[in-house]
């Protein structure tokens, strides 16, 4: 398997593909995911090895010492809802354990079972340990670990990420993932491979009720999609710290718009579509993340130019 980041850490850009690597570091990074004498995949497994259909490929194509799920460990995603709320953002974790193993890797994708297209949006939480390889259009994306996210010598591994649930009417979303519990011996022998899948049905969208004692954050942005600028609005029901950031689809902070304390009230701030150093942000998917007075809100947006 080939690791990559919140979206895209070490490898950046859609469909990041890996060059041939040489030297001890390359061999170490690739040992988890490629057999001895094979080409190393730097920082993550190749796409299409999350045990997902139609090929259902996983890491045993290289790491063939044992059959799938035959070890004494396990692979799980924690934080998944019983049913998802369309458009809601969920903070999830991939957890991989296996006694005696000492290096780790995984790959995960979320699809619509009928069409096979992506279901929702995967967003990296920690770009040091995870990355995302994006498929074009509605083709599936793959979340995976980076080279740093292999956690050499660790006795288990955990990778956190965000999943923005798909829009109303999408239907069920199915998570597929494969994990490699490696023994850190610099070759593909002796590694245990695990696979798992979860189907999450679409829930009924309910109107959000205003909590007693104060208004919700009321995060909104217009226009969406945006061209050159956007006005982001929010409400504070109580005083407290406020942090409003713009993130790209890899999870990289493009611009911090607000950071400091604020009193209750209604606020609006304009983002001019530029990054921290004043360069125009490229067209693509962005996220507005707001942490305010102990509450959290987020919006997905598209920039057209």
pLDDT number for residue 38: 35
Whether 27 shows a pLDDT value over 90: the answer reads no
CB 108 within 8 Å of CB 125? no
pLDDT number for residue 14: 36
Whether 180 shows a pLDDT value over 90: the answer reads yes
State CA 184 to chain mean position distance: 25
The single residue listed with the structure tokens 């942490």 is: 291
Q: Name the average pLDDT for the chain.
A: 81
pLDDT number for residue 232: 93
Quickly state the pLDDT bin for 301 (edges 50, 70, 90). confident
Give 30-52 pLDDT, tens digit per residue: 444 443 333 344 478 999 999 99
d(CA 40, CA 29): 7
**All domains of the chain in start order, with CATH:** 24-200 (2.60.40.680), 220-303 (2.60.40.4070)
Q: Residue 256 belongs to what H/E stretch? A: strand 253-262
pLDDT number for residue 11: 38
- The least confident of 21-35, 197-211, 270-284 is 21-35
C-beta pairs of 208-215 under 8 Å, 24+ apart in sequence:
211/237, 213/237, 214/238, 214/264
CB 203 within 8 Å of CB 85? yes
pLDDT number for residue 15: 36
Residue of 247, 254, 245, 250 lying closest to 6 (CA atoms): 250
Q: Which residues pair with 292 in a beta bridge?
A: 242, 295
Evaluate if pTM is beyond 0.85: no
């Amino acid at each position: 398997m080939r690791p990559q980041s919140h979206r895209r850490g070490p490898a950046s850009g859609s469909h990041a593909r890996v060059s041939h690597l040489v030297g001890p570091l390359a061999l170490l990074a690739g040992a988890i995911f490629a057999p001895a004498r094979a080409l190393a995949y730097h920082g993550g497994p190749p796409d299409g090895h999350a045990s997902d259909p139609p090929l259902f490929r996983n890491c045993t194509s290289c790491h063939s010492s044992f059959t799938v799920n035959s070890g004494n460990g396990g692979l799980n995603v924690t934080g998944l809802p019983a049913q998802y709320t369309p458009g809601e953002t969920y903070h999830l974790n991939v957890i991989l354990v296996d006694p005696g193993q000492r290096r780790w890797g995984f790959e995960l994708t979320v699809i619509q079972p009928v069409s096979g297209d992506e279901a929702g949006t995967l967003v990296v939480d920690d770009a040091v340990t995870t990355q995302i390889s994006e498929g074009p259009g509605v083709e599936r994306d793959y979340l995976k670990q980076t080279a740093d996210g292999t956690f050499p010598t660790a006795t288990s591994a955990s990778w956190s990420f965000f999943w923005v649930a798909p829009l109303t009417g999408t239907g069920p979303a199915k998570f597929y993932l494969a994990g490699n519990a490696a023994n850190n011996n610099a070759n593909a022998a002796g590694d245990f491979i695990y696979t798992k899948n979860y189907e999450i049905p679409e829930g009924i969208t309910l109107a959000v009720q205003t909590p007693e004692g104060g208004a919700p954050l009321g995060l909104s942005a217009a226009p969406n999609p945006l061209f050159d600028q956007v006005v982001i609005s929010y409400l504070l029901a109580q005083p407290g710290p406020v942090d409003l950031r713009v993130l790209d689809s890899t999870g990289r902070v493009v611009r911090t718009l607000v950071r400091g304390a604020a009193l209750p009230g209604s606020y609006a701030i304009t983002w001019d579509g530029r990054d921290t150093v004043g360069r125009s942000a490229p067209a693509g998917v962005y996220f507005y993340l707001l942490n305010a007075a102990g509450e959290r809100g987020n919006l997905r947006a598209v920039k057209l130019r």
